[in-house]
Structure 1
């Protein structure tokens, strides 16, 4: 399953936003122009609007699960 949805957001130990995905994986979502343009992640209302939205999980696309991520 490469497509999943966003369940929640948490912050990592450095204060960066991390999407918690329904598949069990997580994904950092940073706004660092020009490399990563995600201004919505900085706004609480826009971030909340993304909960439940479809998200492409790169870990799932590679066929990895939580037991094999470190392998």
Structure 2
């Protein structure tokens, strides 16, 4: 399964987006919804990925509006 999904309409050419919100995928993993139109899985799976904040609703809320480096947008620029 990919870490993020590309938006088919090609929105977003900047590599820095803003987190607009979150939802859970079918497996219960948290996914950030980005202003560029892309999405990014944000998993807490120690020791490889340590994102304890994603498990807490208040901490997720604090991330909304924060900048996020979108890997899909970076690839589009290459």
Aligned equivalents of 1:56, 1:33: Cα separation in 2: 22
Gaps of 5+ in 1: 65-71
Match of 1:10 among 12, 17, 23: 23
TM-score (norm 2): 0.80
CA-atom RMSD in angstroms: 0.9
Q: d(CA) in 1 for partners of 2:41 and 2:29?
A: 7
TM score, norm. by length of structure 1: 0.87
Instruction: Confirm or deny that 1:22 pairs with 2:45.
Output: no
Moved over 2 A (4+): none
Query: Size of the alignment, in residue pairs?
Result: 64
CA distance in 1, matches of 2:75, 2:21: 22
Gaps of 5+ in 2: 1-13
Q: Residue 33 of structure 1: CA displacement?
A: 0.7
